[in-house]
Amino acid sequence: MQFFANTDELHQVMKELWARIGRDPDMSEKLLQSKLIVQFQYREPEGRVTVDCSDGKEMRVTVGKQPIKPIVEMSMKADVAHDFWLGKVNVPFAIVSGKIMARGPVAKALQLLPVIKPAFEIYPNVISQHKKVMA
Amino acid sequence: MNPFVFHVPTKIAFGEGLASGTADIVKELAGSRALILTDKPLMQTGIVSQILEGFADMKYVVFDDVPPDSDVDCVNKVADIARAEECDCLVAIGGGSVMDTAKVVNICLTLGGEILEYQGLNNIAEQLLPLVAVPTTAGTGSEVSMVAMVKDRAEGKKLLFGSRYLAPSVAVLDPLLTLSLPPKLTAATGLDALTHAVESYTAVISNSVFTDSLCIDSTRMIFENLRAATKNGGDIEARSQMLVASTMAGVAFTNSGVGVVHALAHSVGAKFGTHHGIANCIFLPHGMQFNMDAVNERYAKLSRLVGISSSRKDSVAAAELVDAIEKLCIDCGLPRRLRDAGVPELKSDDIEELAFLTGSDPAIMFNPKDCSPEDIKGLYERAY
């Protein structure tokens, strides 16, 4: 059974997670330095989260279809994303086995992996708070 | 046992003189108009003309101007020619640059659109046109790999393409084609193959017995034959063993990835144009020393299995493997420091830039140990 019941739930959780990442000075500073626009495209359920660091000053996170053209697109099942944020995904293995697709200059995005690792500790809290609200 | 995925999408054929039958292989793949890619030096050796004799009864077009470090302009130019000639299959005769160019041209030719649309990993989800790879060096493994890299000179970047559909349909391994390789290139490409084998064996996802077997045997074959192939280029048995070992290591790394040595070599190659095999042979012992505390046991196992060490103590067996690689490089006349390979003095700005390039190279993701920017800078300083 998939973890996220529907697109709304997926979008709410991811938006809250990225908002907290944006409030973390270490992570947000390094993400903004990258000036990347990364779009995460999810399936089962469908979802789309765009993280725009292009101006280097403010991290803008939007969900759903956006007119903005991402520099890097990462596609995966929403369950893979859930496991990733729990720190349970071996990214190299997920790429080699085709579970994660990446379009664009992937090296730039992969370089951010160590940067966002502290979010693995934030995510369970985001999930538990979300579940309380839903209950 | 850990989970693994293992692909060998390429049919591998080996034999002396086999390349002269390349046209028959193309016909078996239902190709009727072949685009043949190669480079000028190979055209001058006569190797290509021998292969072309077999194409006498079918339509083909030859592009013989693939540069050593191929780029987007070359890919677009070749793709335009292939479209105009309505080519329905590709043949790559050459080293890594020729084969990688052919793979990326194949994307453009089959799927259309802009090359940049396909940059990335696992983006290509359909079968491409048949591609026959005929390697003329024993090192890159591109004849069986699922990745390709070309330069975007305008942007000063390397573009990475990765998909199982990128792997050639057939790899034609003909050791006769490698006989004319000069000693230095023989040694450098051989060390590229050895680096594939050693890094794949210790890569972070290298848990498959399939990749392990290929790494162990290819390492052994390289140790047993590279000196002979370098010192006596006409030694057909040594050439054969090296060609097969290189392809085996290619299958291994395309399934398990490489590591920090390749990330360092890609970066120094991008900045100073250092030959990939030369860069790998300089960085390999340093990379192994760096990874030693993480994969000491694996190095020791490899050292024993290929007959380098008989010590039961892992630290001793692993150190003996590093020493044996160092000795192999020296015996083959390869430079041991970056400064001896034409790299100018590394200033702090250079090291900063190289550390950034290395840290963002996808190969580093597969290294068995995390590398900080300071670790990478240290590796450059030691290798210089």
Q: Which one of B133, B161, B177 terminates a domain?
A: B177
For residues B119 and B258, state if they share a domain: no
CATH code, domain with B42? 3.40.50.1970
How far apart, in whole angstroms, are the C-alpha atoms of residue A58 and residue A65?
A: 20
| pLDDT of B333 higher than 80 | yes
User: What pLDDT score does B207 carry?
Assistant: 66
Q: Are A108 and A72 in contact (CB under 8 A)?
A: yes
Q: Are A76 and A109 in contact (CB under 8 A)?
A: no
For residues B241 and B370, state if they share a domain: yes
For residues B256 and B154, state if they share a domain: no
**Whether CATH 3.40.50.1000 fits A7-123:** no
Domain count of chain B? 2
| pLDDT of B156 higher than 80 | no
Q: Are B134 and B39 in contact (CB under 8 A)?
A: no
Q: Do B119 and A105 touch (CB under 8 A)?
A: yes
Lookup: tokens for B384: 């210089």
| pLDDT of B348 higher than 70 | yes
| pLDDT of B360 higher than 90 | no
Closest residue of B to A99, CA-based? B122
Mean pLDDT, residues B98-119: 94
Alpha helices in chain B (DSSP H): 22-28, 40-45, 47-52, 72-84, 96-111, 183-202, 209-231, 236-256, 260-272, 276-305, 314-331, 348-359, 373-383
Lookup: tokens for B236: 């057909």
How far apart, in whole angstroms, are the C-alpha atoms of residue B292 and residue B93?
A: 38
Does B2 reside within a domain? no
Mean pLDDT, residues B190-215: 93
Q: Which domain holds residue B308?
A: 181-383
Mean pLDDT, residues B45-49: 93
For residues B223 and B344, state if they share a domain: yes
Task: Kindly indicate the confidence band of residue A75, based on its pLDDT and cuts at 50, 70 and 90.
Answer: very high
A101-103 β-sheet, strand order? A60-63, A47-52, A37-43, A72-77, A101-103, B120-121, B157-162, B147-152
For residues B266 and B319, state if they share a domain: yes
From the list B117, B160, B205, the residue facing A90 with the nearest CB is: B205
Of the candidates A131, A135, A132, A120, the residue with the CA atom closest to the CA atom of residue A20: A120
Task: Kindly indicate the confidence band of residue B30, based on its pLDDT and cuts at 50, 70 and 90.
Answer: very high
Mean pLDDT, residues B149-167: 89
Share of chain A above pLDDT 70, in %: 99
The secondary structure of residue B147, as a DSSP letter, is E
User: What pLDDT score does A108 carry?
Assistant: 82
Q: Do A92 and B117 touch (CB under 8 A)?
A: no
For residues B348 and B214, state if they share a domain: yes
| pLDDT of B328 higher than 80 | yes
| pLDDT of A92 higher than 90 | no
| pLDDT of A63 higher than 80 | yes
Mean pLDDT, residues B143-166: 91
User: What pLDDT score does B286 carry?
Assistant: 98
Mean pLDDT, residues B162-166: 95
For residues B271 and B236, state if they share a domain: yes
Task: Kindly indicate the confidence band of residue A112, based on its pLDDT and cuts at 50, 70 and 90.
Answer: confident
Q: What is the pLDDT of residues B60-101, one digit of tens each?
A: 999 999 999 899 999 999 999 999 999 999 999 999 999 999
* Average pLDDT in chain B: 95
How far apart, in whole angstroms, are the C-alpha atoms of residue B215 and residue B118?
A: 30
User: What pLDDT score does A8 carry?
Assistant: 96
End-to-end CA distance of chain B: 40
Q: What is the pLDDT of residues A116-132, one digit of tens each?
A: 999 999 999 999 998 77
Q: Which one of B177, B206, B223 terminates a domain?
A: B177
User: What pLDDT score does B206 carry?
Assistant: 65
Q: How far is A100 from chain B (nearest CA, A)?
A: 8
For residues B155 and B198, state if they share a domain: no
Tell me how many residue pairs between chain A and chain B have CB atoms under 8 A apart. Answer: 65
Does B236 reside within a domain? yes
For residues B57 and B128, state if they share a domain: yes
For residues B263 and B194, state if they share a domain: yes
- What is the DSSP secondary-structure string of chain A? --SSSSHHHHHHHHHHHHHHHHH-HHHHHHHHHHT-EEEEEEETTTEEEEEE-TTSS--EEEES--SSPPSEEEEEEHHHHHHHHTT---HHHHHHTTSSEEES-HHHHHTTHHHHTTHHHHHHHHHHHHHHHH-
The alpha carbon of B351 is separated from its chain's Cα centroid by a whole number of angstroms, namely: 25
Task: Kindly indicate the confidence band of residue A96, based on its pLDDT and cuts at 50, 70 and 90.
Answer: confident
How far apart, in whole angstroms, are the C-alpha atoms of residue A73 and residue A53?
A: 14
CA distances from A39 to A63, B24, B30, B275 (A): 9, 46, 40, 36
Mean pLDDT, residues A90-96: 87
Q: Is B62 left (phi over 0), alpha (psi -120 to 50) or beta?
A: beta
Lookup: tokens for A13: 């959780």
CATH code, domain with B329? 1.20.1090.10
The alpha carbon of B67 is separated from its chain's Cα centroid by a whole number of angstroms, namely: 16
User: What pLDDT score does A55 carry?
Assistant: 94
Share of chain B above pLDDT 70, in %: 99
Q: Do A100 and B160 touch (CB under 8 A)?
A: no
For residues B40 and B125, state if they share a domain: yes
Q: Which one of B177, B205, B234 terminates a domain?
A: B177
| pLDDT of B153 higher than 70 | yes
ipTM: 0.84
User: What pLDDT score does B299 carry?
Assistant: 98
How far apart, in whole angstroms, are the C-alpha atoms of residue B46 and residue B58?
A: 20
Q: What is the pLDDT of residues B280-321, one digit of tens each?
A: 999 999 999 999 999 999 999 999 999 999 999 999 999 999
Does B4 reside within a domain? no
Instruction: Classify residue B34 as exposed, middle or buried by CB count within 10 Å of its CB (0-12, 13-18, 19+).
Output: buried
Name every residue in A having a CB less than 8 A away from some CB of B: 72-73, 90-93, 95-98, 100-108, 110-111, 113-114
From the list B118, B123, B365, the residue facing A110 with the nearest CB is: B365
- What is the DSSP secondary-structure string of B263-280? HHHHHHHHHH---HHHHH
From the list A90, A93, A106, the residue facing B120 with the nearest CB is: A106
Of the candidates B71, B87, B74, B82, the residue with the CA atom closest to the CA atom of residue B33: B87
CA distances from B86 to B76, B106, B128, B132 (A): 15, 13, 15, 17
For residues B19 and B116, state if they share a domain: yes
